[in-house]
Structure 1
Amino acid sequence: MKPMLEAINVNTNSSLKVETYNSTTNCESAGWHIHPEYELVCIKNGSGLLNIGSEKRHYGNGVLVFLGGDIPHADFGNKDNEDNLEVVIQFKKEFLEDKLKVFPELIKIKELIEKSRQVLIFDEHTKESLWPLFKRFDKMDNQGKLVNLLSILDQLSKHGVYERLFDTISISNYKKNEIRRLEETFEYVNNNFHKNISIQEIATRLGFTPNSFCRFFKKMTHQTFISFVNEFRIAKAVEFFNENNTVIAEVMYKSGFNDPSYFTRQFKKYQDTTPSSYLKSKYSDQLKG
């Protein structure tokens, strides 16, 4: 079965996306999926399965794994223990190609990132020694997260003990041109979600007719383009709410919606609650009236 292409929502003011999940907020399963971003995952404890490419590998007491972009995989986490935490860090290839290359001192980190295309599984000692750095992410601002990631990558590149899951570079079953077009689509939505999204514009940009673009997108992601845009916008709305934005109308417009009732329906569809209920549960002590 071909993996679903997943869009990773990296903030425009950040080079990476960091999510921390506990036993009650496990990462929502994306099933068998693929994305162009690099992914570094550290799971504190518990047992689970690494299902990556053609390989399956069980782990028994948490795991630290680093995989390059465009490698099919399933979710890694588990719900064995109440104190378990899973930290997922994702960053685009531009992080390596555009940013790290300007610092020759980071050559070991660049080499480590390039090796991740073979998928690196680190030993338990490496995971345990770096866990204190991973669990700090949840309380950091964007600058702190970047510095912390570089510190982790520095330690991994110098002292990390790992095995390669694949002997050779993992190659996606997707054609490079298909992946390029999906990346452009994701980037277009990321840059224009707050505006009117034009299927005609993105289709023309990619060399499709509107109908052929919609068929292509559905084949690659297993969902319609409109559904993807709505889900992306709702994720942005949640992001805005979490940044202490408590005016629903303002968040609605900032995330690209114009109709309050449609915004409420889509929010409930993807968050299983209404915007007002979400705000009440998050800011019950701050909201007035």
Structure 2
Amino acid sequence: MLEAINVNVNSSFKVESYNAANNCESTGWHIHPEFELVYVKNGTGCLHVGSKKRDYTNGALIFLGGNIPHADFGNKDHKDSMEIVIQFKKEFLVEKLKVFPELKGIKKLIEKSNQVLIFDEKTKFASWNYFKRFETLDNQGKLINLLSILDYLSKNGSYESLFDTISLNGFKKVEISRLEKTFEYVNNNYHKNISVTEISDRLGYTPNSFCRFFKKMTHQRFISFVNEFRIGKAVELLSENNMAIIEAMYKSGFNDPSYFARQFKKYQGVTPTDYVNKRYPQLLLKDSLL
């Protein structure tokens, strides 16, 4: 599935920290256009990326590019466990960093992440102080801290490249590229009217041939994929932004409350109200709908 990731408009990237009492909810086998840098403090687990797996025994530090399928990385072995996940869009590299020629080492490191970089134990241990600082910093401090991490990893990091190149067995390179463009289109336009005609034109298909292509690549109808992605966004908006259900509905791209409620129950197993009531009862004070 395509994971829904919200990068706030007043930030260039997203950083989340999880511990034993606040574990990251599993998304299973997933993909997203954003780059991802993950620090797992300790414990054992498996880094499952694409067709390859790497077990770890004392935490892990992994950096992977966008649109690379992978499973969750963290574990729940120890009470003092900590998982820090940093995600940023391609624009962070191609628009923001390009104006600083001094950051060419960082840009090269980010570009190499398309091969999936697994850093060694020494690098992981040495960079811990950087990662644990995030929880005490404001947005400006977080950006400076991220650049410090990338600077350290680009100059001192020792790593294994998991892949020479990333490929999806059984598909042509052009098909993979078109699928990635489809993911990016949905990721950037989920809150608007998603046009099959527009995305078809961008990729050089007729609407019917695009729908056949998408079904072949994902074993899912395009409209079902969009609805599932939007529901994922709605869940994230409810969770992270303390948002009312009706506001989350509009911001995730739905306009019909009854249709939104049906799709929410289809993909979450409960109605929006029941979901909020179970997880965030304080939000119900904001809602009398759905």
TM-score (norm 1): 0.80
SS at match of 1:287: helix
Whether contact under 8 Å (2:231, 2:267) holds in the other structure is yes
Quote the residue 2:98 is aligned against.
101
Residue 151 in structure 1 maps to residue 148 in structure 2? yes
Distance 2:235 2:137 in 1: 19
Considering only aligned residues, what root-mean-square deviation do their CA atoms show, in Å? 3.1
Distance 1:195 1:118 in 2: 33
Distance 1:70 1:237 in 2: 21
Quote the residue 2:282 is aligned against.
284
Q: Which of 207, 210, 221 is residue 210 of structure 1 equivalent to?
A: 207
Matches within 5 A, 1:70-149: 70-137=67-134, 143-149=140-146
Gaps of 5+ in 1: none
CA 1:225 to 1:141, structure 2 compared with 1: closer, same or farther past 3 Å? farther
- When the two structures are aligned, how many residues end up with a matched partner? 281
CA 1:26 to 1:202, structure 2 compared with 1: closer, same or farther past 3 Å? same
Whether contact under 8 Å (1:7, 1:186) holds in the other structure is no
CA 1:18 to 1:183, structure 2 compared with 1: closer, same or farther past 3 Å? farther
Percentage of pairs with the same residue: 67
| Post-superposition offset of 1:156 | 1.3
Q: Which of 228, 249, 253 is residue 252 of structure 1 equivalent to?
A: 249
Whether contact under 8 Å (2:36, 2:64) holds in the other structure is yes
CA 1:283 to 1:194, structure 2 compared with 1: closer, same or farther past 3 Å? same
SS at match of 1:227: helix
| Post-superposition offset of 1:45 | 1.1
Distance 1:35 1:237 in 2: 16
**Counterpart of 2:123 in structure 1: which amino acid?**
T
CA 1:176 to 1:141, structure 2 compared with 1: closer, same or farther past 3 Å? farther
Quote the residue 1:11 is aligned against.
7
Whether contact under 8 Å (1:20, 1:138) holds in the other structure is yes
Q: Which of 191, 194, 202 is residue 194 of structure 1 equivalent to?
A: 191
Quote the residue 2:175 is aligned against.
178
Distance 2:80 2:267 in 1: 27
CA 1:34 to 1:170, structure 2 compared with 1: closer, same or farther past 3 Å? farther
SS at match of 1:257: coil
Distance 1:224 1:194 in 2: 19
Distance 1:89 1:253 in 2: 27
Whether contact under 8 Å (1:72, 1:172) holds in the other structure is no
| Post-superposition offset of 1:47 | 0.9
SS at match of 2:145: helix
Distance 1:29 1:85 in 2: 18
Distance 1:222 1:21 in 2: 32
**Counterpart of 1:51 in structure 2: which amino acid?**
H
Whether contact under 8 Å (1:68, 1:114) holds in the other structure is yes
CA 1:74 to 1:45, structure 2 compared with 1: closer, same or farther past 3 Å? same
Q: Which of 23, 33, 38 is residue 25 of structure 1 equivalent to?
A: 23
